[in-house]
């Protein structure tokens, strides 16, 4: 794909949008591009659509201007960031059909290439890393750099996951040169939790179970427990990673109830098991080491279904 500046020629109004339950990479890439436009292409009228963005990212530029519900508008261009498939487009889904042009900028192996232009780099740490490569470095301002740095840090687990490459570090270095307050960003975007977030994590770990010869750990949260602590899905971030931090565990599964007998599933793997394969089988997707899906049934049913393929892969 050409640099974004070339694609923007002739565009007078555009929408930028991310996926359902937007994470740091999704919010960071959307607001990073938004800021880049404000800095360099003020003649373009741009709107950002994100579903209910989390307050911990409120330091990002343009956060208060995010639209959380869709408007009946025809855009010359719609850019989807970090969105691997059409079903995962959040509030902005209705805009696609009416858009002059659609572009997807992503890093998921499971990307279904649903736009006219699909720029997918499956080896990149984050959508923010991919987006950085499409921007003119000298035109990136400090606020824009903060947004991109946020996405890289959150999606790479603070440069820990195997998707972190020397190139990721070079991009991060270039953003650091712009003066981003990296200590504060890492704290705010990744490590800091509210008291109830810590409580629900503690409880989930305490009640977790080990399966498949202690190589698989399962944690789950029921709706009634979520109500008791007053937590919502966005408070569950990081629980699956903490489960995965158990010595000897190959796969961590975390479920939380999103409806009657309906669970959101998050999986993490050390690499031996391809959890994207498991999630794809149940209509979800993601990466080899981090994937998710939504499943129906009781906790028992869901875990049983998931562990069938995990067990098979552990034996391969
Ligand atoms: P998480 O467990 O953090 O929610 O997601 C891990 C990875 O799996 C992310 O890259 C995310 O895009 C992907 N993922 C999670 N849930 C779903 C889902 O329901 N469908 C698809 N296609 N991907 C998902
Ligand atoms: Mn991402």
pLDDT tens for the chain, 316 residues long, are 788 999 999 999 999 999 999 999 999 999 999 999 999 999 999 999 999 999 999 999 999 999 999 988 999 999 999 999 999 998 999 999 999 999 999 999 889 999 999 999 999 999 999 999 999 999 999 999 999 999 999 999 999 998 999 999 999 999 999 999 999 999 999 999 999 999 999 999 999 999 999 999 999 999 999 999 999 998 999 999 999 999 999 999 999 999 999 999 999 999 999 999 999 999 999 889 999 999 999 999 999 999 999 999 999 8
Q: Which helix (H) or strand (E) holds 275?
A: helix 275-281
CA nearest neighbour of 42 among 141, 118, 145: 141
Asked if 170 and 254 touch (Cβ cutoff 8 Å), the reply is no
Q: Which two tokens stand for residue 215?
A: 């190589």
Strands of the 216-221 sheet, one edge to the other: 209-211, 216-221, 251-259, 262-269, 290-296, 285-286
Q: Which two tokens stand for residue 219?
A: 């944690």
Give the pTM. 0.88
CA nearest neighbour of 25 among 188, 124, 155: 155
**CB of 291 shorter than 6 A to ligand 1:** yes
Using alpha carbons, list the distances in angstroms from residue 166 to 121, 129, 177, 199. Answer: 15, 12, 16, 36
User: What pLDDT, on a 0 to 100 scale, did the predictor assign at position 2?
Assistant: 80
CA nearest neighbour of 15 among 77, 85, 73: 77
210 pairs with which residues across the strands? 217
**CB of 154 shorter than 6 A to ligand 1:** no
What's the CA-to-centroid distance between 125 and ligand 2, angstroms? Answer: 7
C-alpha angle with apex 105: 99 to 108, nearest 5 degrees? Answer: 125
49 pairs with which residues across the strands? 17, 67
What's the CA-to-centroid distance between 268 and ligand 1, angstroms? Answer: 10
**CB of 130 shorter than 6 A to ligand 1:** no
What's the CA-to-centroid distance between 213 and ligand 2, angstroms? Answer: 32
User: At a CB cut-off of 8 Å and minimum separation 6, what does 35 contact?
Assistant: 61, 62, 141, 143, 144, 147
- Pocket probe for ligand 1: among 243, 292, 295, 306, the residue whose CB has the most ligand atoms within 8 Å is 292
User: What pLDDT, on a 0 to 100 scale, did the predictor assign at position 286?
Assistant: 87
Pick the residue whose CA is nearest to atom 22 on ligand 1.
Answer: 285
Q: What is the position in ligand 1's atom list of the atom closest to the CA of 254? A: 2
**CB of 204 shorter than 6 A to ligand 1:** no
Starting from the CA of residue 111, give the closest ligand.
1
**CB of 289 shorter than 6 A to ligand 1:** no
What's the CA-to-centroid distance between 53 and ligand 2, angstroms? Answer: 15
pLDDT, tens only, 252-265: 999 999 999 999 99
What's the CA-to-centroid distance between 273 and ligand 1, angstroms? Answer: 16
The DSSP letter of residue 248 is T
Question: Helices marked H in 41-194 — which ranges?
Answer: 95-98, 127-134, 142-155, 166-177, 182-186
CA nearest neighbour of 243 among 279, 271, 215, 278: 215
**CB of 119 shorter than 6 A to ligand 1:** no
pLDDT, tens only, 51-96: 999 999 999 999 999 999 998 899 999 999 999 999 999 899 999 9
Using alpha carbons, list the distances in angstroms from residue 32 to 29, 48, 179, 240. Answer: 5, 11, 15, 27
Strand pairing report for 290-296 and 262-269: antiparallel
User: What pLDDT, on a 0 to 100 scale, did the predictor assign at position 175?
Assistant: 98
- Pocket probe for ligand 1: among 89, 291, 293, the residue whose CB has the most ligand atoms within 8 Å is 291
C-alpha angle with apex 137: 132 to 143, nearest 5 degrees? Answer: 75
Starting from the CA of residue 126, give the closest ligand.
2
Using alpha carbons, list the distances in angstroms from residue 171 to 83, 130, 164, 212, 278. Answer: 21, 10, 11, 40, 32
What's the CA-to-centroid distance between 136 and ligand 1, angstroms? Answer: 30
């Amino acid at each position: 794909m050409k640099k974004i500046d070339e694609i923007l020629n002739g565009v007078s109004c555009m929408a930028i949008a991310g996926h359902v339950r937007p994470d740091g990479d999704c919010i960071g890439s959307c607001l990073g591009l938004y800021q880049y436009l404000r800095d360099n292409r003020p003649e373009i009228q741009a709107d950002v659509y994100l579903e209910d963005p989390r307050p911990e990212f409120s330091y990002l530029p343009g956060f208060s201007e995010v639209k959380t519900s869709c408007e009946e508008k025809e855009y010359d261009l719609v850019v989807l960031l970090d969105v691997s498939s059409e079903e995962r487009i959040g509030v902005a889904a209705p805009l696609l059909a009416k858009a002059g042009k659609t572009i997807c900028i992503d890093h998921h192996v499971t990307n279904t290439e649903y736009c006219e232009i699909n720029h997918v780099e499956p080896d990149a740490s984050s959508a923010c890393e991919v987006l950085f490569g499409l921007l003119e470095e000298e035109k990136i301002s400090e606020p824009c750099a903060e947004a991109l740095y946020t996405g890289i840090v959150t999606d790479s687990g603070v440069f820990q996951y195997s998707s972190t490459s020397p190139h990721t570090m070079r991009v991060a270095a270039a953003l650091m040169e712009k003066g981003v307050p990296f200590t504060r960003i890492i704290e705010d975007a990744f490590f800091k939790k509210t008291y109830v977030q810590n409580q629900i994590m503690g409880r989930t770990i305490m009640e977790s179970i080990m399966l498949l010869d202690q190589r698989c750990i399962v944690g789950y949260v029921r709706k009634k427990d979520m109500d008791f602590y007053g937590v919502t899905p966005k408070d569950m971030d990081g629980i699956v990673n903490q489960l995965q931090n158990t010595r000897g565990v190959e796969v961590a599964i975390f479920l939380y109830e999103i409806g009657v007998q309906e669970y959101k599933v998050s999986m993490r793997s050390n690499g031996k098991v391809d959890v994207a394969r498991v999630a794809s089988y149940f209509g979800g997707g993601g990466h080899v080491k981090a994937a998710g899906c939504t499943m129906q049934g009781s906790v028992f049913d869901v875990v049983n279904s998931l562990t069938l393929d995990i067990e098979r892969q552990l034996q391969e």
